[in-house]
Amino acid sequence: MQIAKYKHKLIATALAVVFVVVDFVTKQLALEFIPKNTTLTIIPGLIDFRFLFNDGAAFGILDQSRWVFMLSTVVFLIIGTIYFIYLDTKKVYLAYVIATIFAGGVGNMIDRVTTGQVIDFITFGFFDFPSFNFADCCVVVGCFMWIGYLIYEIIIERKLEKNE
């Protein structure tokens, strides 16, 4: 049956949808329950919640560039979707990588379209680090997964070259 062939793509897509929903719900909770200019300590010395709007890129870089980020996100999402559709069904891990990064892009795009800014609310309590959100985590984790995948592919390729 054909569905079995695409099982991991379907699971990765479902996972991306779940990640987008988690991102949306956590941002709505932040909007409702975290007062502005207030830091809520969640795990002392580790994680705090501090609500803010970010109209730039990661960590507030390039403020006031909303349309640049919206356009680049749309381009990435289109290219990522096409790549995902044509991705070899045997590349299971890569399907999850793409879905994870895709979810982060969609989560932050929803904010840019609906509010004009991205909602950030998670901060580290142990050092001064810019606020972020679940979508940002998806993008970062997905990129690290992709780097790991590329390193793995390079190692396998070199081993194969040595054995020839």
pLDDT digits 0-9 by tens, 33-59: 999 878 899 899 899 999 988 876 655
Q: What amino acid positions are annotated as catalytic residues?
A: 120, 136
pLDDT of 155 reads: 92
Can you tell me the distance from the alpha carbon of 147 to that of 159, in angstroms, rounded to the nearest whole number?
18
Chain centre distance of CA 6: 23
Distance CA 108, CA 105 (A): 5
pTM (two decimals): 0.87
pLDDT band at residue 163, thresholds of 50, 70 and 90?
confident
- Digit-coded pLDDT (tens) for 124-143: 988 888 889 999 999 999 99
Q: What is the DSSP letter of 49?
A: E
Please write the tens of the pLDDT for every residue from 84-133: 999 898 889 999 999 999 999 999 999 989 988 899 999 998 888 888 99
- Identify the pLDDT of residue 137: 95
Task: Choose the weakest-confidence range: 21-25, 119-123, 129-133, 146-150.
Answer: 129-133
Yes or no: say if 158 and 146 are a contact pair by the CB < 8 Å rule: no
